[in-house]
Amino acid sequence: MNAMNDLGSLADLPTEYVEALASHNLVPLWPSLRGVLPPTKPRPNTRATHWAYKDIKPLLLQAGELTPIEKAERRVLVLANPGHGLDKMQASAAIYLGMQLLLPGEWAPSHRHTPNAVRMIVEGEGAYTTVDGEKCPMSRGDLILTPTGLWHEHGHDGTDPVVWLDVLDLPIIYYLETSYHVNGDAQTTVPGRGDRIYAHGGMAPTRMFVRGSKPYPMLRYPWDQARAALLTLSQDNPQEPSVQITYVNPETGTDVENILGFYAMMLRPGQTLNMPARSPACVFHLIEGQADVAIEAQKFHLVEADTCCAPGYTPVTVTNRSSSQPAFFFLADEAPLHRKLGVYEVRA
Ligand code: GTQ
């Protein structure tokens, strides 16, 4: 016999008893036991959700007219998952997504905070982020890190609006009651760029006695190099269905940040890829091409600059709608966190 017996509910108990418990800050477990430990798999609040760039962009440009940068510090529209409630500003349990606009001549002042962030550049040229004194130019598809505790500010010397996708681990840092920021003065730019030093695969600078003095030696991952790596990977492994790279720390080979993982994925022309159910929630942002993302009963039609998210423990099928051109995604997930916590799972 399966031991899935019905458990008692709160209504089974005398009101005076429940009130007596509450007056001593006590709660009976059994009415909530199945809720906190559901059978066989979690019941995520995270819902499969699609944010179309064509819907975001006009509203973001309107924010540029309505709210000067001085009144916003960061002019961002948050991509909020309705399953968590929009006010929670969460895409998933651990992932925050925001679309940020910087207009020519604007400056988003220097600050640092405990959550880790990355930027995926969506549109526009001429902006830069200065991280830990390193001035990182922003171009479409580039990935720029602002890891925990590092000073960062955004500026724009170009002529057209620049938009990027912010991905932060803010929800989990906030939940842990460890989220705060510090404002600072404009940074002095220091010479030397990690993306130049580590531009040649498999070669890291030799330092006398100590390797790698910086915990985050590379802050900018240019899209042209990621794209070229994917095309080579595809050509050299024609039988391999998954064409994906992980953004790694070039000194250690580990994920670039501690909590969220970041990847670029290519689908060959016409390809359909079945991704197994895994415990982490995952975000898909289409950099180039046109693709469908099917998550359980939902099927999203993505065009360039669109973003969607899938809850964990859910298989996802991605299809390149073009029969002649590859499609390129940027992915973000919670895998590093799940691995560190020992809860990472793949279900065949
Ligand atoms: O650009 O530093 O979307 O601090 C949220 C918080 C962006 C940023 C966000 C931030 C930033």
Cα of 45 vs centre of ligand 1, distance in Å, is: 24
Ligand 1 contact, 130 CB (< 6 A): no
Cα of 76 vs centre of ligand 1, distance in Å, is: 8
Q: Tokens for 262?
A: 């970041």
Cα of 176 vs centre of ligand 1, distance in Å, is: 18
- The full DSSP string for 286-339 is EEES-EEEEETTEEEEE-TT-EEEE-TT--EEEEE--SSS-EEEEEEESHHHHH
Cα of 278 vs centre of ligand 1, distance in Å, is: 28
User: Among candidates 259, 235, 238, 255, which has minimal Cα distance to 246?
Assistant: 255
In terms of phi and psi (left: phi > 0; alpha: psi -120 to 50; beta: otherwise), the region of 149 is left
| Cβ–Cβ < 8 Å for 142, 162 | no
Residue 236 DSSP SS3 = helix
| Shortest-distance atom of ligand 1 to CA 166 | 3
Compute the distance between CA of residue 167 and CA of residue 155 in angstroms, rounded to an integer.
Answer: 19
Domain residue ranges in the chain:
49-196+210-347
Q: Count of residues for the chain?
A: 348
The residue type of 20 is A
Ligand 1 contact, 76 CB (< 6 A): yes
Cα of 166 vs centre of ligand 1, distance in Å, is: 7
By most ligand atoms within 8 Å of CB, the mutation choice from 89, 100, 145 for ligand 1 is 100
Domain 49-196+210-347 grouped into CATH 2.60.120.10: yes
Q: Tokens for 140?
A: 């479409």
Closest residue CA from atom 8 of ligand 1: 74
Residue 210 has a pLDDT of 59
| Shortest-distance atom of ligand 1 to CA 111 | 2
Ligand 1 contact, 102 CB (< 6 A): no
The alpha carbon of residue 213 and the mean position of all alpha carbons in its chain are separated, in whole angstroms, by: 26
| Shortest-distance atom of ligand 1 to CA 113 | 4
Cα of 148 vs centre of ligand 1, distance in Å, is: 12
User: Among candidates 299, 278, 295, 287, which has minimal Cα distance to 326?
Assistant: 287
For the chain of 348 residues, list the mean pLDDT of each consecutive stretch of 10.
74 97 98 96 97 98 97 97 98 98 97 98 97 97 98 97 98 98 96 91 79 85 98 97 97 96 98 98 98 96 98 98 98 98 95
| Cβ–Cβ < 8 Å for 305, 268 | no
By most ligand atoms within 8 Å of CB, the mutation choice from 113, 120, 136, 168 for ligand 1 is 168
Residue 212 has a pLDDT of 58
